[in-house]
């Protein structure tokens, strides 16, 4: 028989015998007087009747059970309190982390504003070049002529491979050639000096019917002078941009060829014939290239390809009156 069952039996006996309740109570109080306060009965405990002892033990067991239950509940309350404290500490850590992120965002925003103000200040300090102050164009070079000594048709692609007797150094990608004494012209797509037929024309057109023995003339030489490799056509990819809503300009950052861009150069979107002039270049800035008056036709986006041109003043948009 366990302790709880014994306690229940003892209390049941007390309830069944109502006539002995008061004597048992008196005996219980007397037993309390005979208790030493530490759970051990005094020698006088032996004089108590067995029924009185049973009642005392029943009450003592119930008291012990209630004490144990109270201690268990106290442990549960303490565990719940510790869990709440841990949760509160975790929330405080999250709040501190979010404050650090917010401070970093504020610093980034402040730095971007300072860079933009520095770029605006540099643009205001530097005079904007105008067409009237641009250096005069050099006179157009004399026409260069060469004779076609070989011809191979690429029927699959629809192009022509040409071999010439001389003047190959004057022919380059983007140059325009014309059959002498005719108006038929074509644009050179590529030049491969090591090949037997080095000049490739991808789309000659129906009017450009060249044959072996014909004389070709180089009539345009805008994108790449034959004697200056530094003025070659350079393609770059727009990696970042910012629009100056107040000044109406565009700040650009590019990948590939950014070190070749100088003030006064012309940029155009790949596939477009309209070019704009570079107003200023700040190599140390995050967006180093500034275009003061891009116009409505030059609206680049991140990922677009732009081409750097030299000596293309005839392709620049006319100044606004």
- In three-state secondary structure terms, 134 is coil
Rg, C-alpha atoms of the chain? 49
pLDDT, average across residues 184-197? 84
Q: Are 313 and 131 within 8 A, CB to CB?
A: yes
Of 186, 237, 236, 244, the residue nearest 210 (C-alpha): 186
Length of the chain: 321
- Residue of higher predicted confidence among 33 and 216: 216
Instruction: Tokens 């501190």: give the residue.
Output: 96
Asked which of 67-71, 74-78, 317-321 is least confident by mean pLDDT, the reply is: 317-321
H or E element that contains 207: none
Domain residue ranges in the chain:
1-125, 144-220, 232-315
CATH fold of 144-220:
Thrombin, subunit H (2.40.10)
The reported pLDDT for the residue numbered 95 is 95
Ramachandran class of 248: left when φ > 0, alpha when ψ lies in -120 to 50, beta otherwise: left
Tokens representing residue 270 in the block: 């790949």
Tokens representing residue 7 in the block: 């306690």
Question: Buried b / exposed e across 115-131, counting CB within 10 Å, b at 16+?
Answer: bbeebbeebeeeeeeee
Tokens representing residue 281 in the block: 């270049």
Q: Are 158 and 209 within 8 A, CB to CB?
A: no
Q: Ranked by mean pLDDT, which of 51-60, 108-117, 196-205 comes out on top?
A: 108-117
The angle that helices 50-125 and 3-16 make with each other, rounded to 10 degrees, is: 130
Quote the CA–CA distance of 276 and 293 in Å, as a whole number.
8
CATH fold of 232-315:
Thrombin, subunit H (2.40.10)
Q: Are 280 and 212 within 8 A, CB to CB?
A: no
Tokens representing residue 125 in the block: 């300090």
Quote the CA–CA distance of 223 and 233 in Å, as a whole number.
6
Of the pLDDT bands very low, low, confident and very high (cuts 50, 70, 90), residue 7 is very low
pLDDT of 11 over the 60 cut: no
Quote the CA–CA distance of 123 and 126 in Å, as a whole number.
5
**Per-residue model confidence as pLDDT tens digits over 218-265:** 885 444 444 343 445 678 888 888 888 777 788 888 887 667 788 878
Asked which of 45-49, 200-204, 212-216 is least confident by mean pLDDT, the reply is: 45-49
**Per-residue model confidence as pLDDT tens digits over 271-303:** 776 778 888 888 778 888 888 877 777 888 888
For every residue of 135-196, which 3-state class applies, written as one string? CCCCCCCCCEEEEEEEEEEECCCCEEEEEECCCHHHCCCCCEEEECCCCCEEECCEECCCCC
Tokens representing residue 27 in the block: 């005996």
One fold for 144-220 and 232-315: yes
Q: Are 164 and 147 within 8 A, CB to CB?
A: yes
Of the pLDDT bands very low, low, confident and very high (cuts 50, 70, 90), residue 24 is low
Quote the CA–CA distance of 284 and 168 in Å, as a whole number.
40
């Amino acid at each position: 028989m366990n302790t709880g069952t014994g306690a229940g039996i003892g209390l049941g006996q007390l309830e069944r015998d109502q006539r002995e309740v008061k004597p048992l109570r008196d005996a219980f109080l007397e037993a309390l007087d005979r208790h030493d306060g530490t759970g051990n009965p005094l020698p006088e405990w032996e004089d108590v009747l067995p029924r009185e002892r049973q009642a005392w033990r029943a009450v003592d067991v119930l008291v012990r059970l209630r004490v144990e239950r109270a201690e268990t509940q106290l442990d549960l309350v303490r565990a719940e309190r510790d869990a709440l404290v841990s949760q509160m500490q975790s929330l405080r850590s999250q709040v501190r982390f979010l404050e650090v992120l917010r401070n970093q965002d504020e610093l980034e925003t402040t730095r971007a504003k300072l860079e933009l103000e520095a770029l605006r200040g540099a643009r205001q300090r530097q005079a904007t070049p105008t067409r009237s102050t641009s250096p005069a164009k050099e006179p157009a070079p004399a026409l260069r002529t060469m004779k076609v000594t070989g011809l191979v048709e690429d029927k699959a692609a629809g192009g022509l491979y040409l071999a010439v007797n001389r003047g190959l150094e004057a022919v380059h990608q983007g140059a325009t050639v014309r059959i002498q004494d005719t108006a038929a012209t074509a644009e050179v797509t590529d030049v491969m000096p090591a090949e037997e037929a080095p000049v490739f024309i991808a789309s000659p057109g129906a009017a450009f019917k060249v044959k072996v023995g014909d004389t070709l003339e180089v009539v345009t030489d805008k994108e790449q002078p034959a004697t200056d490799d530094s003025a070659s056509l350079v393609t770059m990819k727009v990696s970042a941009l910012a629009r100056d809503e107040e000044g109406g300009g565009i700040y650009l950052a590019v990948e590939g060829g950014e070190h070749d861009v100088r003030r006064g150069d012309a940029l155009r979107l790949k596939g477009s014939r309209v070019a704009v002039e570079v107003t200023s270049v700040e190599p140390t800035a995050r967006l180093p290239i500034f275009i003061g008056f891009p116009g409505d036709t030059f609206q680049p986006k991140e990922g677009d390809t732009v081409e750097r041109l030299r000596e293309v003043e005839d392709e620049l948009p006319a100044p606004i009156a």
